[in-house]
Every structure is written in structure tokens, then in C-alpha cells.
């Protein structure tokens, strides 16, 4: 065999040295080595097929500080390229058809091989949302939550979906090979069987039972870890993710910063940034960013979720035992399910909803966000808007950005963490109007109202209208304060000029594409460009989505400006400083009142009844002291302090703008 540049044939002396160390080969002419190669690095190795060997000079120090020399010992290599300072020890069967990067460590493994042409998991069809495959998403190395959302849920845009699927298939073809890659500094330890798998740089695979047909897209900045007992078939795992503790995965995409472990089982599912799955089971789910389930008895099936926490024993039903498992559920961002909750699909649960109990009707709360959905005497009872006053909702919004595990400089999923946005405020406005119409049509004297098979008490309805209005006033006030921030105005015309939106983008409906909040018109335009061929690659589609994310705040003002006009009944072109002051005064009132509700909600966690179980064997005095040692006191609690500071800061911010407005010359 003619050696490639940088490699040469073995010398007779090197061949004899290798043979004296127990090495054998079908044809030494098929083995080439890099200049500097020393045969002492190989012992008890059988070579077959075409082999390229690097230099074995530097060893590897493991996490315990143990030095492991480089080289190959007790192994069979077939059609392999081996980089510099690789340590391959004790491979019971063989390594076949692999390019092994520099400083890779492979120890105590069974079989690592590539068979025929493979795309390493790319192009795998994942039957998400609908078990029959009607919404299947074809996965690829850089799939984003937003691309997958469009593929799975926009089936009516057949031309656009066909175009995206064709581009993914073309990508899968471009990465197909009969040779696998193990990237630089990867470690594969104590694994039984690895077949048709790309192992990215710095990945660690320790104790896996079977990895079949997939890609571990690790990076040096954010390695992938695959741990003991794991079985995975037809998969892609992105940087920074961990799959461990006997997890069983089949036909799944696992995005950046995810953790699946503790015997978790998932099939035909998509997991995007920072998801967590432990103990339980997932079947055909679309787990948008920050979907988390911790409990052994929890089943998530045939639904789309994001920023969601599933309580123990939560499950859903997608099968009516008639036409098969064809039903799906939508649980919009920020929702939670309590222990032993149940939802009958099809259903749609609005953003930031808490689901308690078992619900046997097909419910739709999408236009009534921030609610409690409670089972009482086999009825579904809705408490609208009450989550706006829940300190837990605020805590969730604060914790998500802090729990971003992604360390890769390139982050695929574009995540908007805003609690209040055009997406949620539109629903709050719709919810307010629904409740007002229910009240008007049923009569204010009614004790209960019914909306889509859900029961709403009169008190809950009246409080819901009030809370939705506070949330709307808070968002619109925030928007106008931000727009006028840091500018001194001489007259009303300068105020009007600044209030006038710059772009025409963002005026209509906004949607949540699994973490990315954007105007529906912009998404529609992107799909039209895909259909017409103006967007010709998956990379261009990703750039278009990134542009939407980058323009969020500019477009948000365009949307908010229109809503301010609707709420005040006055065009911004006619606004004066007095009108701005009126909006800010309403904003101050709503912010302070909502924060005070949050403050009082937090106080409930520090009442004597909440101290039950503290001060074991002692009286109330010791109970309070024990509680304080474990939980701290109310005033110093971080969430309570944040609420108190928020009231002060926002009040000062509003007063500062009001002061500037009062100095404007009236004209």
C-alpha cells in the first residue's frame, strides 16, 4: 500500500519488534506509520485491513491522577486510523472502520465498529406528538427546537415542510460514511458494544451497554457524557448533555445541556436545551427547553411541553381505543402538573398553568393563561390568572436563566425567558375579554360560570379580570418606560417622535416556537422564502430565526405601541406628557399591587403551620428556631428580598420618568 503524506511503511526491524511483542497482521504492507513511531507502543495487537498509526510518546493522566501510557495493547484493529498518543487497552472483540483522534483513550471494551454506509443517526424519523408518525421529525446534528416545532406542527405548510425535510435528508447523505470517527481526547471506557456511532471531541463514554446508530456531538468546551448501563439506538446527543444510570433511549434527539438518567426511558422523543428526565418515561414527546420530570411514576406521552415541571404520577392519555393512539396535547410554556395529575388528550393548556387532579374532558385553556386548573368532584374548575400572584411563578422565571447548563459557544436553541411578552399578553387580553363576556352574558349575579367544560366561580372570575388587567398595565408600562428611558424631552413632539415605532415588524399575532418568541408574520415570511427557494439551506433558516430572536425588543415595542393605543383609546401621534404620566401611574399601581400579592404569598411559607415537622420533640419556640436554621427568616429570604427591591427600584424608575414628563413644555 502506498502511504499517504506524513506516513510511511514499516521497516523490517519495526515489523520484527512488533512480532516479538505478540503483534500479528494479515499483511504488514497494509500498515503505515507516522515518522517517530516506535513499535514498543504496541503489544498483543492483531492488525487487519488498512491501518495507519501515529506516534505514541506521551501518556494520559486520568481523573484520579493515575498515569496511563499511550499505545495499543490486547486489541484487534481493522481498517483503522490511529492518531498520536492514543491509549487503546483490552478490547475483547475488535475496533473496525474507525478514525481515532489524537489522545483518545479506549479501555476494557467489547466491540466498536462501523458497518457499511451509515449517517450516524442523521435522518432518523422520530414519531413525535403522534405515535403513528403523522408528525414525525427527521433529526440532524444541529436541529433546533424552532425547526422541529415547524416540522411537527405546521403540516399544513406542506411545501415548506417538504423543503426542510429534503435539506435534512441531503445533510444526512453528506455525512454518511462507512468509517466512524472518535474525536480528539475522547474517552471510551468499559463499554460493551458501540456500532455506527460518531464520538465527538472530549466525549466520555463510560460503562455503556449499547450505543447503536448515533452521534455524540461533543465539544471540548462542553463535553458529552454517556454513563453506566446506558442503551441507546438511533440517536443524536448534543454538546453538554449527559445520559447515564441505565437510561434507555430509542429514536431520540437530545439537545444541549440535557440530563437523562436514573433509569429514564424515552422513545420517539425530542429533548431540547436544558431538559431533565429521571426515573420516568417519555413516549412521542416534544420536550421544549427546560422540560423537567423527576419521578419514577411519571409518564409524558404525545405532548409538546416547554419550561414545564411534571409532578410525580403525572400522565396523559392519547388513545381512545377507537382509531389508535392518534391524539396529542399541547402544554404551553411555564406550566406545571402536580402529583397524580391526569389530562385527556386532545387538550391545550395555556401558559403558566398549574394542573391539579384528574381531568377527563378535552380542555382548552390557551386564552386563559396563569391559571389553576383543579379537579373537584369530577369537575374541572378553572381559577383564572391566579398564578400572576404566585411567588412560585416569579421564582421559576428567575431560575431558568441561571440553570442554563450550555457551555458551548454555539447555542442552537434561541430562548426568550420573558414572563410577560406579546405572546402572553395577547392571551391575557383575550382572557380578560372572555371573562368579561361570560359575566355580561350570564349575569353578574351568577355564582358559577362555564367555559369549555370548565367551571369558574364568580369570585375567581372577578379576580381574574382584575389580575389580567394588572398584568397588561404592567407590561405596557414597562414598554413605554423602556422606550423613553434616559432621554430628556423638550416638548411633546419629541415624545411623539420617540414613541413612534421604527419598523413595521411585529404588529400582529406573536407565537412561541418552543422558546423563541416572534411575530407570526415573520415566521410566515420565512416559510414563504423556504417555499420559493430564497432560503436554500438549513444554515440560512437558522440565521433567519436568529435574526428574529435578535430583533425581539425592537419588534416588541411595535406591538406594545399598538396595544397602548387600544388600551388608552388614543393614537401615540396625539400623546402628550400627561398621557405618558397616566400610563406610568397605572403601571406603578399594578407593579406595586402585584408585588405586594407576591410578598404576601411568600409570607405563607413562613407561618407556624408551615413549620409543621420542625423542632422535633420540642415546643413552638424551638420549632421557630429550628425552622429559621433550616429555611432562614422571611425578611432575609432571597426571593422576598428580590420582591422588596423590585418594588423600590420600579417605583423610583416610574417616579423618575414622571419627573421628566412634568418638565416637558406643553405644546
Per-residue pLDDT tens over the stretch 537-592? 999 999 999 999 999 999 999 999 999 999 999 999 999 999 999 999 998 888 87
Q: What is the pLDDT of residue 304?
A: 97
| pTM (2 d.p.) | 0.93
Pairing of strands 347-349, 329-331: parallel
Looking at 113, 130, 154, which one is the last position of a domain? 113
Distance CA 126, CA 268 (A): 5
Instruction: Write out pLDDT tens, residues 270-283.
Output: 999 999 999 999 99
Grid coordinates in use for 137?
A: 421529525
Grid coordinates in use for 661?
A: 414628563
**Pick the residue with more confidence: 611 or 375?**
375
Q: What is the pLDDT of residue 327?
A: 87
Pairing of strands 286-287, 372-376: unpaired
C-alpha angle 369/371/375, rounded to 5°? 135
- Percent of the chain scoring above 90 in pLDDT: 78
**Angle formed by the axes of helices 638-662 and 391-402, nearest 10°:** 90
In a domain, 614, yes or no: yes
The arithmetic mean of pLDDT across residues 14-41, rounded, is 95
Query: What's the burial of 638, exposed, middle or buried (CB within 10 Å: 0-12/13-18/19+)?
Result: exposed
In a domain, 651, yes or no: yes
The arithmetic mean of pLDDT across residues 6-22, rounded, is 94
> Residue 584 sits in which domain range?
579-662
Number of helices followed by number of strands (H, E) in the chain: 13, 42
In a domain, 604, yes or no: yes
Q: What is the pLDDT of residue 634?
A: 53
In a domain, 48, yes or no: yes
Q: What is the pLDDT of residue 575?
A: 94
Report how far Cα 644 is from the mean position of its chain's Cα atoms. 31
Look at residue 596 and tell me whether its pLDDT is greater than 90: no
In a domain, 31, yes or no: yes
Inter-residue contact 452 to 363 (CB < 8 Å) = yes
Query: What's the burial of 503, exposed, middle or buried (CB within 10 Å: 0-12/13-18/19+)?
Result: exposed
In a domain, 289, yes or no: no
Q: What is the pLDDT of residue 605?
A: 61
Looking at 84, 113, 142, which one is the last position of a domain? 113
Q: What is the pLDDT of residue 544?
A: 95
Q: What is the pLDDT of residue 504?
A: 79
Inter-residue contact 587 to 513 (CB < 8 Å) = no
User: 133 — phi, psi (to 5°)?
Assistant: 95, 5
In a domain, 171, yes or no: no
Sign of the alpha-carbon torsion through 554, 557, 562, 563:
positive
Q: Rounded mean pLDDT of the chain? A: 91
Q: What is the pLDDT of residue 323?
A: 59
**Pick the residue with more confidence: 647 or 268?**
268
Q: Cell 422535633 maps to which residue?
A: 616
Q: What is the pLDDT of residue 434?
A: 97
Distance CA 60, CA 231 (A): 28
The arithmetic mean of pLDDT across residues 214-224, rounded, is 98
How far, in Å, are 44, 194, 229, 266, 272 from residue 245 at the CA level? 33, 17, 6, 14, 20
Distance CA 632, CA 634 (A): 7
Distance CA 418, CA 622 (A): 41
Structural domain tally of the chain?
2
Other beta carbons within 10 angstroms of residue 608's beta carbon come to: 11
Inter-residue contact 83 to 103 (CB < 8 Å) = yes
> Mean pLDDT lowest for which of 72-86, 319-333, 383-397, 442-456?
319-333
Instruction: Write out pLDDT tens, residues 109-165.
Output: 999 999 999 999 999 999 999 988 999 999 999 999 999 999 999 999 999 999 999
Looking at 70, 98, 113, which one is the last position of a domain? 113
Sign of the alpha-carbon torsion through 601, 602, 606, 612:
positive
**Pick the residue with more confidence: 398 or 143?**
143
Distance CA 355, CA 353 (A): 6
In a domain, 152, yes or no: no
> Mean pLDDT lowest for which of 208-212, 249-253, 369-373, 505-509?
505-509
Instruction: Write out pLDDT tens, residues 345-397.
Output: 999 999 999 999 999 999 999 999 999 999 999 899 999 999 998 877 877 78
Amino acid at each position: 500500500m502506498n502511504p499517504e503524506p506524513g506516513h510511511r511503511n514499516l521497516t523490517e526491524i519495526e515489523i520484527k519488534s512488533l512480532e516479538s511483542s505478540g503483534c500479528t497482521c494479515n499483511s504488514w504492507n497494509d500498515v503505515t506509520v507516522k515518522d517517530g513511531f516506535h513499535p514498543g507502543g504496541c503489544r498483543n495487537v492483531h492488525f487487519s485491513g488498512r491501518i495507519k498509526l501515529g506516534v505514541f510518546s506521551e501518556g494520559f493522566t486520568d481523573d484520579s491522577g493515575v498515569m496511563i501510557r499511550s499505545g495499543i495493547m490486547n486489541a484487534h484493529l481493522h481498517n483503522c486510523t490511529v492518531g498520536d498518543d492514543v491509549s487503546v487497552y483490552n478490547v475483547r472483540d475488535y475496533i473496525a472502520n474507525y478514525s481515532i483522534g489524537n489522545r483518545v483513550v479506549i479501555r476494557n471494551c467489547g466491540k466498536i465498529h462501523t458497518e457499511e454506509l451509515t449517517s450516524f443517526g442523521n435522518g432518523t424519523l422520530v414519531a413525535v406528538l403522534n405515535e403513528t408518525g403523522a408528525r414525525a421529525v427527521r433529526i440532524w446534528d444541529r436541529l433546533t427546537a424552532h425547526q422541529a416545532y415547524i416540522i411537527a406542527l405546521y403540516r399544513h405548510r406542506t411545501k415548506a415542510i417538504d423543503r426542510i425535510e429534503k435539506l435534512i435528508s441531503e445533510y444526512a447523505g453528506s455525512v454518511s460514511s462507512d468509517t466512524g470517527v472518535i474525536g480528539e481526547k475522547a474517552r471510551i471506557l468499559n463499554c460493551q458494544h458501540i456500532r455506527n456511532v460518531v464520538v465527538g471531541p472530549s466525549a466520555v463514554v463510560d460503562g455503556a451497554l449499547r450505543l447503536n446508530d448515533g452521534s455524540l456531538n461533543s465539544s471540548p468546551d462542553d463535553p458529552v457524557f454517556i454513563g453506566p448501563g446506558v442503551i441507546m439506538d438511533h440517536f443524536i446527543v448534543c454538546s453538554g448533555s449527559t445520559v447515564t444510570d441505565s437510561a434507555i433511549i430509542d429514536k431520540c434527539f437530545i439537545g444541549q445541556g440535557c440530563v437523562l438518567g436514573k433509569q429514564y426511558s424515552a422513545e420517539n422523543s425530542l429533548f431540547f436545551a436544558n431538559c431533565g428526565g429521571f426515573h420516568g418515561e417519555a413516549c412521542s414527546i416534544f420536550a421544549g427547553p427546560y422540560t423537567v420530570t423527576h419521578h419514577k411514576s411519571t409518564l409524558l406521552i404525545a405532548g409538546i411541553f416547554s419550561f414545564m415541571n411534571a409532578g410525580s404520577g403525572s400522565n396523559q392519555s392519547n388513545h381512545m381505543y377507537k382509531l389508535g393512539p392518534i391524539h396529542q396535547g399541547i402544554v404551553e410554556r411555564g406550566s406545571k402538573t402536580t402529583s397524580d395529575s391526569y389530562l385527556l388528550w386532545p387538550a391545550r393548556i395555556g401558559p403558566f398553568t398549574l394542573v391539579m387532579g384528574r381531568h377527563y374532558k378535552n380542555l382548552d385553556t390557551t386564552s386563559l393563561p396563569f391559571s389553576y386548573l383543579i379537579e373537584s368532584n369530577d369537575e374541572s374548575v378553572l381559577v383564572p390568572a391566579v398564578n400572576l400572584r404566585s411567588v412560585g411563578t416569579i421564582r421559576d422565571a428567575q431560575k431558568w436563566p441561571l440553570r442554563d447548563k450550555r457551555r458551548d459557544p454555539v447555542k442552537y436553541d434561541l430562548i426568550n425567558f420573558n414572563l410577560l411578552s406579546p405572546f402572553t399578553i395577547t392571551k391575557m387580553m383575550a382572557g380578560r375579554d372572555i371573562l368579561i363576556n361570560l359575566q355580561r352574558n350570564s349575569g353578574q349575579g351568577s355564582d358559577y360560570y362555564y367555559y369549555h367544560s370548565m367551571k369558574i366561580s364568580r369570585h375567581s372570575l372577578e379576580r381574574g379580570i382584575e389580575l389580567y388587567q394588572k398584568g397588561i398595565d404592567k407590561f405596557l408600562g414597562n414598554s413605554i418606560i423602556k422606550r423613553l428611558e434616559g432621554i430628556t424631552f423638550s416638548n411633546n413632539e419629541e415624545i411623539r417622535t420617540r414613541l413612534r415605532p421604527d419598523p413595521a415588524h411585529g404588529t400582529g399575532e406573536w407565537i412561541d416556537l418552543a422558546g423563541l418568541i416572534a411575530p407570526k408574520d415573520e415566521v410566515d415570511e420565512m416559510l414563504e422564502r423556504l417555499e420559493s427557494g430564497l432560503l436554500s439551506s438549513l444554515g440560512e433558516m437558522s440565521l433567519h430565526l436568529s435574526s428574529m430572536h435578535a430583533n425581539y425588543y425592537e419588534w416588541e415595542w411595535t406591538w406594545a405601541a399598538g396595544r397602548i393605543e387600544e388600551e388608552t383609546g388614543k393614537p401615540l401621534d396625539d400623546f402628550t406628557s400627561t398621557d405618558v404620566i397616566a400610563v406610568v401611574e397605572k403601571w406603578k399601581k399594578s407593579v406595586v399591587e402585584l408585588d405586594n400579592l407576591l410578598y404576601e404569598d411568600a409570607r405563607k411559607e413562613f407561618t407556624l403551620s408551615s413549620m409543621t415537622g420542625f423542632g422535633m420533640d420540642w415546643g413552638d419556640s424551638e420549632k421557630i428556631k429550628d425552622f429559621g436554621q433550616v429555611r432562614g427568616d422571611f425578611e432575609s429570604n432571597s426571593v422576598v428580598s428580590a420582591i422588596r427591591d423590585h418594588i423600590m427600584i420600579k417605583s423610583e424608575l416610574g417616579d423618575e420618568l414622571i419627573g421628566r414628563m412634568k418638565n416637558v413644555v406643553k405644546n
